[in-house]
Structure 1
Amino acid sequence: MSHIVTVQDAVTAFADWIEPTDAELDAIEEEMPLILADIDLLDAQITTLDRTPNELDARRIRRARHRVLAERVALANRTAAASLPGGAA
Structure 2
Amino acid sequence: MEILPLRLLSAVDTAEQDREPTDLELDAIEREMPVILAAIDLLDAQISTLDRTPTELDAQRIRRARRRLLTARRELANRTTAASLPGGAA
Partner of 1:3: none
What are the ranges of 5 or more consecutive residues in structure 1 without an aligned counterpart? Answer: 1-7
**Secondary structure in 2 aligned to 1:85?**
coil
The sequence identity of aligned pairs, in percent, is 73
CA distance in 1, matches of 2:51, 2:72: 28
CA distance in 2, matches of 1:13, 1:73: 32
Which is higher, the Rg of structure 1 or of structure 2? 1
Deviations 1:58-85 (CA, angstroms, capped at 9, x unpaired): 0000000011101110000000011111
Matched, 1:55 2:56: yes
Q: TM-score, normalised by structure 2?
A: 0.78
Going from structure 1 to structure 2, the CA distance change for 1:13 and 1:72 (only over 3 Å counts) comes to closer
Shift in Å at residue 13 of structure 1?
Answer: 8.1
Looking at both structures, which has the greater relative contact order when contacts are Cα pairs under 8 Å and sequence separation is at least 6?
A: 2
Aligned-residue CA RMSD in angstroms? 2.1
Counting matched residue pairs gives 77
Partner of 1:74: 75
Q: TM-score, normalised by structure 1?
A: 0.79
What are the ranges of 5 or more consecutive residues in structure 2 without an aligned counterpart? Answer: 1-12
Counterpart code for 1:80: T
Give the helix-richer structure, 1 or 2: 1
Deviations 1:25-84 (CA, angstroms, capped at 9, x unpaired): 000000000000000000000000000000000000000001110111000000001111
Q: Following superposition, which runs of at least 4 residues in structure 1 exceed 2 angstroms of deviation?
A: 12-15
Shift in Å at residue 14 of structure 1?
Answer: 8.4
